[in-house]
Amino acid sequence: MFGNMGDLSEMLKGFEQQAQSLKDELAKKTFSVKSGGGMVELTLNGNGEVIDLNIDDELLSDKDSLQILLIGAINDANKMVQQNQQQSAMGMLGGMNPFGGSK
Catalog residues that contact its own copies under the rule CB under 8 A. Answer: 1-3, 7, 48-50, 52-55, 57, 60-61, 63, 66-67, 70-71, 74-75, 78, 82, 98-99, 101
- Are residues 48 and 80 in contact, defined by beta-carbon separation less than 8 angstroms? no
Cα distances (Å, whole numbers) of residue 10 to 4, 35, 41, 98: 10, 46, 44, 10
